[in-house]
Amino acid sequence: MMVTLPTECLIPEKKQQRPAKSFYQRALRILPICLLAAAGATAQKPQQFSLQSPDKSITVNLLLNEDISYTVTADGQQLVAPSRISFSTDQLKPVKIAAAGLRVKKSATKLLDEQLTPVVFQKSGTVRNYCQQLQLELANGLTLEWRVFNEGFAWRWLTSHKGAYKVLSEEANWQLPAGARSWYPLEDGFYSHNERLYKYLPMDSITEQKLASLPALFEIKNHRLLLTESSLFNYAGCWLRGNGNGGLKAVFPYFPKEKKITSDRDEKIQSREDFIALGNGPQAYPWRVAMVAREDKQILTNQLPYLLGRPAEGDFSWVKPGKVQWDWWHANNVYGVPFKAGVNNDTYKYYIDFAAEYNIEYVLLDEGWCDTRDLMKQVPDINVQELARYAREKKVDLLLWTSWLVLDKQLEVALDSFASWGIKGIKVDFMQRDDQEMVNYYEKVAKAAAARHLLVDFHGAYKPTGWLRTYPNILTSEGVFGNENSKWSKLLGADHNTTLPFIRMAAGPMDFTPGGMLNAQEKYFAPIWDEPLTQGTRCNQLAMYVIYESPLQMLCDMPTHYYKEPEAMEFLRAVPVEWTQTIPLHAKTGDYVAMARQARNGDWFVGAMTDWDARELQLNLSFLPEGSYRMEILKDGVNANQNAKDFAKETLTVTKNTTLTMPLAKGGGYVARITKQ
């Protein structure tokens, strides 16, 4: 082997001025040191680490050489081929030999096994945090941490830096096997509401030009891989592009440099810096999360974003989930009332009366109640203080909408005022970014709201990233192509609605805003702004209250319509927004979904939805405890394939040994409430 000696190992040509040892004596003294350095520079031995899930089904192998790469197998099948990861700041310890910075100074593994009790029950009353953890402390001052669960894997970077620094880059790749496909939420750019349809694409068609937001789902032979992130704080959100080689790479919106306010709600980024984020002191960076499922139904109970969320600090026992009567979807277009409908106190008192009658916890005043440039300036026909007093008498609480820009300018005075008026929460809208500045804004609002015991619903938002664990007052968020799109678009169809539980909902609660009572089959549907229709059947909309998770769940339609539908309202009065158990029954992404859930009071609810294909699904009630139960069913009527509003009601006595058939019309649904007799 030819070795090039470092400069300090070379023998000087000029004679030394003072007496020196012989050439050979000096060479023999220096040469071992130089050869050692040269050998380290050219032939460092790779370091390898392996980590398995507790049940041994998932294996992650790490290789540290001149870079860091990993592979993943599940059930003996390769899910991720060798894929590079890296993290770079401008304060990394300088090393003369590049690879030496990736040498592991210290490694530690341990088994985590604990039962967590969420403040808000999204999928279950307890969540088991059960995984193998590996921490690698690198010579360059970074720490790489991996966790492998029976349901997936994740990694994150941690810095031990002191003082200020910049995160220059983060590299994350997922090299998928040949033949993989994706449900890909294709985006136009980083400025986005993240309300996307999912394109079912072969991986070899996903080029570097195809940008996607998270979460995204990938089909790899008989496995599913869902990518998202958790514990996103003081950093930029992760997006995806094709890596040009049949795989995926992470990309990030860099730190804003120049911004321009273009309206009373929008701020556009004119240019960006050449770094992702600013840091100051030690920090744990977001988890890169990959859920692994052998069948689609396993995605429905996966809670990795919650498990990897930063634990909450402080008391959140005051958080009260609930249903919400919403105004904006139907443009306050109520009728059959003795007052002029609109943004006025009479209309909102009507909403409050309706909510009180049906045990709906909240009424939301969406955009229109105030000057969008000044939250302290209410419109002439609205008096929020009076409405809040009226609502309290009826045991109903109020939520207020605000654009993020005006709230940013008036945060302290506005939230103090809202709290003093008796308001219980805010809906914050139009952020449309997830660069570091905006991510920090979310946390600022969450903290300020929590300090005043206010709930938060983020709209115009990116996906949730474990918020329900860190800030349980963030009960829901948009970042979903949801029911509001029915006002202006024909794209919100039954196939999309049966895709959401397996992708967007996997990241966390979603404010889809279900509950439309004017239902139409696809060929009869048309967008109507002031009195919207929904595509699919009446029971499809009702099933969303069982299938779709949102601890602050909207009723999007107007009381005028709900009053005309007593059977639907009997169900909506009873259905909760928190679940102590979730049991998937049937699942195929984009085709159908059915599940049983148990409420805090012990009642069971069943929901099922299908795409535009009518079908029958079997309902085995073996999940029930022993005993006799009353089962109240709402199912698609015999004419629902033609008139989507058609439904039938049925009441049965059942036990755990009962098996039924759930008939689903095109775009159809099925719901049931099961109570102990």
CA-based nearest residue to 409, from 454, 461, 374: 374
CA distances from 453 to 18, 321, 412, 568 (A): 79, 13, 14, 32
What single DSSP character describes residue 175? B
CA-based nearest residue to 344, from 391, 380, 293, 294: 380
**Catalytic residue at 484?**
yes
Query: Are the C-beta atoms of residues 203 and 176 closer than 8 Å to each other?
Result: yes
- CB-based burial of residue 523 (10 Å sphere; 0-12 exposed, 13-18 middle, 19+ buried)? exposed
Alpha-carbon distance 121 to 115, whole Å? Answer: 14
Could you tell me the two tokens for 275?
Answer: 């770094």
User: What residues contact 297, with CB distance under 8 A and at least 6 apart?
Assistant: 584, 585, 586, 587
Bridge-based pairing of strands 615-620 and 629-636 is unpaired
Rounded (10°) CA dihedral 22, 23, 28, 32: 140
Bridge-based pairing of strands 186-187 and 267-272 is unpaired
Query: Are the C-beta atoms of residues 374 and 409 closer than 8 Å to each other?
Result: no
> Catalytic residue among 478, 484, 495, 591, which?
484
∠ CA(619), CA(621), CA(622), 5° rounding?
A: 125
Alpha-carbon distance 575 to 410, whole Å? Answer: 37
Alpha-carbon distance 614 to 178, whole Å? Answer: 33
Spell out where 117-235 has E strands: 127-138, 142-149, 152-159, 164-174, 181-184, 186-187, 199-202, 211-212, 216-220, 223-230
CB-facing half-sphere around the CA of 311: CA atoms within 13 A? 6
**Catalytic residue at 188?**
no
> Catalytic residue among 145, 151, 429, 557, which?
429
Query: Are the C-beta atoms of residues 277 and 236 closer than 8 Å to each other?
Result: yes
Query: Are the C-beta atoms of residues 205 and 176 closer than 8 Å to each other?
Result: no
User: Would you call 520 helix, strand, or coil by DSSP?
Assistant: strand
Query: Are the C-beta atoms of residues 420 and 409 closer than 8 Å to each other?
Result: no
Query: Are the C-beta atoms of residues 471 and 450 closer than 8 Å to each other?
Result: yes
In the chain, how long is the greatest CA-to-CA distance? 112
Rounded (10°) CA dihedral 397, 401, 404, 409: -80
User: Would you call 176 helix, strand, or coil by DSSP?
Assistant: coil
The distance of Cα 430 from the centroid of its chain, to the nearest Å, equals 17
Alpha-carbon distance 292 to 153, whole Å? Answer: 8
Catalytic residues: 429, 484
